[in-house]
Structures are given as structure tokens and as C-alpha cells.
């Protein structure tokens, strides 16, 4: 029993990795995944053109960059080789195309990143509290949280970005831990730190926000230690230089367009902070558009997505902060995370940064909120934490099985008394495409055209012997040849059922303690 108790987290993570990996490749394909592949091909094309330009004196075609949307290749340089190996295994399923297998293989890598974030989440908790049992249990709560677990089954940008943010947070704490203990920080430590940070930038340039987190840690360190700022800078100026030089160099490496013009990074930052589409997100019954978000958008979504125990823990901080800030290390570690989750949303609100699809662009704040919520609740009352924690884990386990693969649509218990179907964005990623395709494969429908938007969420799962005619959803209201089948996802469910079309199948799921089912998609037969 003692062995099981001491190794419980390792045993949990072992089975969690197996279950999560299998769940990821059984999930549907999301809206963004095709665009991720386009981005990878674009960056490869740019890299090839620039290589020819630099080494073979060929003319660089600057028109290539006109289609650039601002993403690096950090995640893809890891995912693409693994996808290449796994796709052959997955494509053995006759109802999965080669391209579909290629995209599903990426899901495994996405989940692997989230799994790694769980390990570093544990290390951060342990560093903050120095309590192994609490850290292990807190990590289990984090890993089983349906919203993040569901995102980890497919999300190729947001989950890797969030995961590496957690890793960067841990490495920054290592640096400050060494400073507080007056231990030597080697240039190798600095180079590793700069590489990890630049790798975060390589997934999404919004990673520059972590420099604010580092600055917060530095300010707390200087103010809590009795060291002179000028003497500190004199002692460490060379290491600061190496850090920023490494940061710049590694970032250039991950963004091929910057090889030709490093100043393009300013344009990339502008692109990423002001999304080119004005996307509307149903928020409390109101369609809030990304180019004109009210200040209530972020708080509302956190209020309905965060688990109850995390919300309680956060509200208890005024009563627990004295115990938490008991020493310099806790002041830096906990104080940094607390200040980060307050300041970054405020910056995003005041700068009117474009956000959409609930909170997925700022998903990196969820692990930080979990840390402060869990630590605060545990500090307030250990017994209360473990009772509420076990109830939460039980709910998470049940719903991860019950609503799979739609866990990312999860809402917390208080919000389930609202009319979620009409008041909030639900299955916006189109994962239901796989379920709808499986229905068609088992039906009597054959040799009939399929209309969908986007096509890549359903087409890879349709048996090519029975279905080989495809077109875009937008043609449903035209004089398109009839009859045909239309795959209707949540984004176009709101438009109703088009003329001369009837529902033949509807996919849905339900949350515990919520009256209405969530409709995820429909198949329409149009005559």
C-alpha cells in the first residue's frame, strides 16, 4: 500500500497517457487543423526559397509572404516527423483517408504536449508548497479537467502554446530559485532558458507576454531581497545579454520569413493581436464580435468555464495570502502567477485584443489560475480541499467518459442552471464531423454529393467507395444539383434548416445536471 501511495501519481500518469493518446486519435478533426497544415507548407516553401537565395544566388520571390498569417514552425517541427510515422498505422482504417490519418496523428502530439505540461504543473506546485501529496492530487485535478483535456485531444495551436508556457514558468522559477539561494547560474542555464522561451514564441508570437511574467518575478525578487538593482545588473549584465541574444536568434530560426526580413516580427505581432476576421462568439446570449469585445467578455467566460473549486480558491486569496507569502520564494512563485493572471487580462481588455471562440487564445492562463486556486484552497483548509477535490475528480472522471470527445464544451456546475444552448458558444470546432460521417458510412446513402463547411472535418472519415462527390456548404442555397446531403455543424446550425432540406440525423450529448441536450451537428437531405 505504501508503494502504491508513493507511486500513485506515476501510475496515474502512465494510464492517463495511454487513455489520452487513444482518445486523441479517436476524436474528430477541428476547423483549424487544415490551416495548420497550410501554414507548415507555407513555411517550408519560404525556407526552401530563402535557402536557394542564400546558397545558390537564386532570386527570392517576395510575393510568397503576401499570404503569411504569422505563425512559426516550433510545434510542426516536432509533430510532422511523428505524423509521418503514425499516419500509416491510422490509415489502415478503411474509413479514414491518408490525409485524415495525417491530421489525426497530430492529435497524439498535441496530447503529448499537454501530458508534459502536467509534469511541469506538478513541479511548480511542489516548488510553491513543498508538499508532494498535495502537488500530486492537484496535478490529477488539472489533468482530468474536461475543458483542457478535451482541447488536448485536437487543438494544434492553443494546447502546445499553453503547455510550453507552463514549462517556461517552471524554468523561470528555477532561475530565481538559484538567485535566492545565491547559487551560480551558468551560461548553459541561460541558453536553455532562452531556447525554451523562444520555442514558446515559435508556436504563437503572443508568447512575448511571458516576458511580462519574467519581469514581475524580477521586480518581486529585487524588492524582496535586499540586493541593489545596479549592483545586480552589473553582476549579471552579460547573462542578460546572452539571454536576449539567444532569444532573438532562436526566434529567427523558428520563423523562416524573418530570415529575409527580421523586422517582419513587428507585423507578425500586429497580425496576431488584431485577428483579420471579425468572429462573433455567443456570450451570455449576445453575439460578441472579436473586433469590438466588451470588457465583460473574459470574466464571463472564466466564470462559466473554471471549476467551482478553482473559483472558490481564487476568492479565498484575501484570506490566505498572508500564509502563502510566508517567505521570499513563495512571494516570487505565487506572487508572479497571481500578478500574471490579473495583469494580462487587463492588458488584453484595455488594448482591445481580438479574441473569439470563448477563451482558447488565452488558454495559457488556465494552468496559472489552477495553481493559485488550488494553493489558496489548500492553504485555507486541507480537509475542505480534499473533500471538494475528490468530488471534483469524481465529476471529471464521469464526464470525461460521458461526453467524449466533446469535453472542451464543458461548463461548470453553477452555469448549468442557465440556458447554455442559447446563451453560449458550444461545439464550435466541428468535431462532430466524424460522428456524422460514421452515421453516413453505416446508412443506405451512397453515391450522393456531400456539402460541408469545412470539408476537412467530415470528408476524411467517409468511405471513398460510397462517397466521392464533395462541395462547400455555401452552395446549399444555390441551384446546386439535387439531391444532396449537407453536414450542418454548430456554426451553421444557427442559420436554421435551408429550403427543401430535412434532418435525417442529429448528433448531441448532455452534461450532468443540465436539462437540455447540446446539439453538435445534423445531416440534412436536400431534395
Mean pLDDT of 487-496: 78
Backbone phi, then psi, for 505, in 5-degree steps?
-160, 145
Are 361 and 158 a contacting pair, CB within 8 Å?
yes
Mean pLDDT of 196-205: 94
Residue 76 has pLDDT above 90, yes or no: yes
Mean pLDDT of 102-115: 97
Work out the angle between the directed axes of helices 33-56 and 76-90 (0-180°, nearest 10): 120
Position 420 scores a pLDDT of 94
Backbone phi, then psi, for 509, in 5-degree steps?
-150, 170
Q: What's the full length of the chain, in residues?
A: 527
pLDDT tens-digit readout, 247-270: 999 999 999 888 877 877 777 777
* C-alpha to C-alpha distance for 37 and 255, rounded to whole angstroms: 15
Question: DSSP for 452-507?
Answer: ESSGGGTGGGS-TTT---EEEGGGGGTT--SSEEEEEEHHHHTT-PPTTEEEEEEE
Q: In 10 A of CB 202, how many CB atoms?
A: 24
Q: How confident is the model at residue 416 (pLDDT cuts 50, 70, 90)?
A: very high
- Is residue 390 helix, strand or coil? helix
Position 276 scores a pLDDT of 60
Position 4 scores a pLDDT of 46
pLDDT tens-digit readout, 430-472: 999 999 999 999 999 998 999 998 899 999 999 989 999 999 9
More confident residue, 92 or 171: 171
Mean pLDDT of 124-135: 94
Position 231 scores a pLDDT of 86
Position 489 scores a pLDDT of 85
Position 335 scores a pLDDT of 94
Least confident of 42-56, 109-123, 358-372, 404-418: 42-56
pLDDT tens-digit readout, 303-344: 999 999 999 999 999 999 889 988 778 889 999 999 999 999
Return the C-alpha cell found at 123: 513541479
Position 499 scores a pLDDT of 80
- Is residue 283 helix, strand or coil? strand
- Cα 314 to chain centroid, rounded: 22
- Cα 418 to chain centroid, rounded: 26
Mean pLDDT of 126-149: 96
- For the chain, give the mean pLDDT: 91
pLDDT tens-digit readout, 9-60: 999 999 999 999 999 999 999 988 988 898 888 888 888 887 877 777 777 7
β-sheet bridge partners, residue 517: none
Residue 360 has pLDDT above 90, yes or no: yes
More confident residue, 142 or 274: 142
Residue 382 has pLDDT above 90, yes or no: yes
* C-alpha to C-alpha distance for 18 and 163, rounded to whole angstroms: 19
Share above pLDDT 90 across residues of the chain, in percent, rounded to a whole number? 69
pTM of the predicted model, to two decimals?
0.94
Position 1 scores a pLDDT of 45
Residue 67 has pLDDT above 80, yes or no: no
Position 5 scores a pLDDT of 54
Position 274 scores a pLDDT of 65
pLDDT tens-digit readout, 166-194: 999 999 999 999 998 889 999 999 999 99
Amino acid at each position: 500500500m505504501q508503494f502504491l501511495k508513493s507511486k500513485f501519481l506515476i501510475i496515474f500518469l502512465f494510464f492517463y497517457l495511454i487513455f489520452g493518446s487513444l482518445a486523441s486519435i479517436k476524436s474528430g478533426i477541428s476547423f483549424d487543423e487544415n490551416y495548420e497544415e497550410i501554414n507548415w507548407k507555407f513555411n517550408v516553401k519560404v525556407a526552401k526559397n530563402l535557402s536557394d537565395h542564400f546558397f545558390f544566388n537564386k532570386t527570392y520571390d517576395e510575393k510568397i509572404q503576401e499570404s503569411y498569417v504569422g505563425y512559426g514552425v516550433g510545434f510542426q517541427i516536432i509533430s510532422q516527423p511523428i505524423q509521418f510515422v503514425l499516419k500509416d498505422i491510422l490509415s489502415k482504417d478503411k474509413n479514414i483517408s491518408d490525409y485524415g490519418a495525417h491530421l489525426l496523428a497530430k492529435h497524439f502530439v498535441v496530447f503529448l504536449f499537454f501530458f508534459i505540461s502536467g509534469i511541469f504543473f506538478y513541479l511548480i506546485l511542489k516548488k510553491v508548497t513543498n508538499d508532494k501529496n498535495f502537488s500530486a492530487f492537484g496535478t490529477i485535478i488539472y489533468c482530468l479537467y474536461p475543458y483542457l483535456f478535451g482541447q488536448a485531444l485536437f487543438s494544434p495551436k492553443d494546447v502546445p502554446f499553453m503547455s510550453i508556457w507552463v514549462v517556461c514558468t517552471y524554468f523561470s522559477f528555477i532561475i530565481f530559485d538559484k538567485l535566492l539561494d545565491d547559487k551560480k547560474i551558468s551560461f548553459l542555464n541561460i541558453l536553455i532558458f532562452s531556447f525554451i522561451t523562444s520555442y514558446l514564441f515559435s508556436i504563437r508570437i503572443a508568447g512575448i507576454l511571458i516576458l511580462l511574467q519574467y519581469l514581475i518575478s524580477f521586480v518581486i525578487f529585487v524588492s524582496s531581497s535586499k540586493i541593489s538593482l545596479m549592483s545586480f545588473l552589473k553582476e549579471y549584465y552579460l547573462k542578460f545579454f546572452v539571454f536576449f541574444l539567444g532569444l532573438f536568434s532562436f526566434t529567427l530560426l523558428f520563423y523562416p520569413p524573418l530570415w529575409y526580413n527580421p523586422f517582419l516580427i513587428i507585423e507578425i505581432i500586429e497580425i496576431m493581436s488584431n485577428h483579420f476576421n471579425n468572429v462573433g462568439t455567443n456570450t451570455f446570449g449576445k453575439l460578441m464580435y472579436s473586433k469590438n469585445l466588451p470588457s465583460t467578455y473574459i470574466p464571463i467566460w472564466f466564470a462559466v468555464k473554471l471549476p467551482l473549486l478553482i473559483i472558490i480558491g481564487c476568492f479565498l486569496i484575501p484570506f490566505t495570502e498572508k500564509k502563502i507569502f510566508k517567505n521570499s520564494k513563495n512571494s516570487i512563485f505565487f506572487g508572479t502567477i497571481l500578478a500574471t493572471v490579473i495583469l494580462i487580462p487587463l492588458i488584453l481588455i484595455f488594448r482591445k485584443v481580438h479574441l473569439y471562440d470563448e477563451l482558447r487564445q488565452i488558454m495559457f492562463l488556465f494552468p496559472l489560475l489552477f495553481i493559485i486556486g488550488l494553493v489558496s484552497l489548500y492553504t485555507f483548509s486541507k480537509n475542505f480541499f480534499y473533500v471538494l477535490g475528490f468530488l471534483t475528480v469524481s465529476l471529471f472522471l464521469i464526464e470525461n467518459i460521458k461526453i467524449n470527445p466533446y469535453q472542451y464544451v464543458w461548463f461548470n456546475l453553477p452555469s448549468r442552471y442557465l440556458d447554455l444552448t442559447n446563451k453560449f458558444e458550444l461545439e464550435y470546432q466541428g468535431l462532430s464531423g466524424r460522428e456524422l460521417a460514421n452515421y453516413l458510412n453505416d446508412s443506405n446513402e451512397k453515391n450522393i454529393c456531400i456539402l460541408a463547411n469545412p470539408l476537412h472535418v467530415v470528408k476524411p472519415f467517409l468511405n471513398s467507395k460510397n462517397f466521392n462527390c464533395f462541395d462547400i456548404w455555401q452552395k446549399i442555397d444555390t441551384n446546386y444539383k439535387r439531391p444532396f446531403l449537407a453536414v450542418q455543424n454548430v456554426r451553421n446550425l444557427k442559420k436554421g434548416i435551408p429550403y427543401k432540406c430535412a434532418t435525417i440525423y442529429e448528433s448531441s450529448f448532455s452534461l450532468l445536471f443540465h436539462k437540455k441536450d447540446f446539439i453538435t451537428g445534423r445531416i440534412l437531405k436536400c431534395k
